[in-house]
Amino acid sequence: MTKAYIIKDAITYIEELDSQVSELKDELLELETRYPPREEIKSSIKDENKFAAKKDMKNYGIEPEVKVNPIDDNKVWIKVVYEKKMGVFTKLVDAITRLGLEFNDTNLTTSNGAAVISSCLEGMNDVEETEEMIMSVISSI
């Protein structure tokens, strides 16, 4: 092989790659015009889910609820029912841990637009105070 042949072969290969790049760019532009951006899809799905969650809770007669029962000297068992929304569980856990309480044996279940948390909290035995605090957190979210 001569240098000229190698260079000519390399140029041909680069031109083929360049044409493939152009074809792929055209295909990508076509796909972008045909389908909406991901952010629009995610926001529309989130809005639909939020509406469906509220509707489901109302259809099934599910109301926000907090139950607190004492277990031991410094342990209480909680059951919290609330509308399933993004970030509520995290905010609830943050609020409870800021009070110096510790979660044990926590369970989170969602169904029909509602979320149910059942857990054992250590560090407090005042049932009424705990119940009021959790209900205020859920109401404010």
Q: Which CATH architecture has domain 61-140?
A: 2-Layer Sandwich (3.30)
Q: Where are the domains of the chain?
A: 3-56, 61-140
Instruction: Report the relative pairing of strands 75-83 and 65-70 from DSSP bridges.
Output: antiparallel
pLDDT of residue 43: 60
| pLDDT attached to residue 59 | 73
- Residue 3, pLDDT score: 87
What does the pLDDT read at residue 14? Answer: 94
| pLDDT averaged per 10 residues, the chain (length 141) | 87 94 91 71 56 62 86 87 85 85 89 88 78 80 67
Q: How far is CA 43 from CA 49, 56, 71, 90, in A?
A: 10, 20, 43, 21
Token digits of residue 48: 């639909």
